[in-house]
Amino acid sequence: MKTAQENKSFTLWPYAIVVAIVLFMAYIAMFVYKAMQQDVDLVSKDYYEQEIKYQDQIDKVKRTQALGDVMLDYKADADAILLQMPATYKDKNLTGTITLFRPSDDKMDKELSLQLGRDQSQLLETNDLESGVWKVRVNFSDGEEFYYTEKTVQIK
């Protein structure tokens, strides 16, 4: 006949279940901690103010297209973007800015002043830009009206 001492058998299952639950909770806690450390930025800091002014932006684009669209052409062999104004702007004294906008990282954005040559063009060097997708935004004015155009280029 077996005694009470021999009937008790030791099993690891309860300990294994507790360890598995603790490890799972630690994994979830680590995942939440890492997720909270990620930098989550909007595309721009003043996003809501820009949304309110969006109708002005639409009007600028329409005015630009009415006078002839601005040509932005990326030349990979020359490491440059050619900005060419249409002939309708020839008699106008244009001033403005060119923004090289990197959608994936706002720290890489660059802003240049519009400096057109006699042939109404400007060459933007891209050898110091990271490869990838860039948006070239041109905001300019003739003193009376404001104009805007934008094109996405793939820098290689």
CB 132 within 8 A of CB 102: yes
Give per-residue pLDDT as tens, 9-44.
888 999 999 999 999 999 999 999 999 988 776 566
Would you report the helix, strand and coil content of the chain in percent, each value rounded to 5?
Answer: 35, 30, 35
What DSSP designation does 143 have?
Answer: S
Q: Can you give the pLDDT at residue 14?
A: 92
CB 119 within 8 A of CB 81: no
Q: What span, in angstroms and rounded, lies between the C-alpha atoms of 155 and 131? A: 5
User: What is the rounded (10 degree) CA torsion for 100, 110, 104, 140?
Assistant: -40
Name which of 81, 76, 95, 86 is nearest 123 in CA terms.
81
Q: Mean pLDDT across the stretch 53-74? A: 86
Q: Can you give the pLDDT at residue 41?
A: 67
* pTM to 2 decimal places: 0.64
What are the domain boundaries of the chain? 11-37, 56-155
Pull the structure tokens for residue 94. Answer: 């244009």
Question: 5 in helix, strand or coil?
Answer: helix
89 or 111, greater pLDDT:
111
Q: Among the listed ranges 10-19, 48-57, 120-129, which one has the minimum average pLDDT value?
A: 48-57
Dihedral sign computed on CA atoms, order 100, 151, 74, 156: positive
Using only C-alpha atoms, the chain has a radius of gyration, in whole angstroms, of 30
Class of residue 148 by CB neighbours under 10 A (exposed 0-12, middle 13-18, buried 19+): buried
Q: What are phi and psi of 93, to 5 degrees?
A: -90, 100
Q: Can you give the pLDDT at residue 32?
A: 96
Superfamily of 56-155 according to CATH: Immunoglobulins (2.60.40.10)
Average pLDDT of the chain, as a whole number? 86
**pLDDT for residue 135 is more than 70:** yes
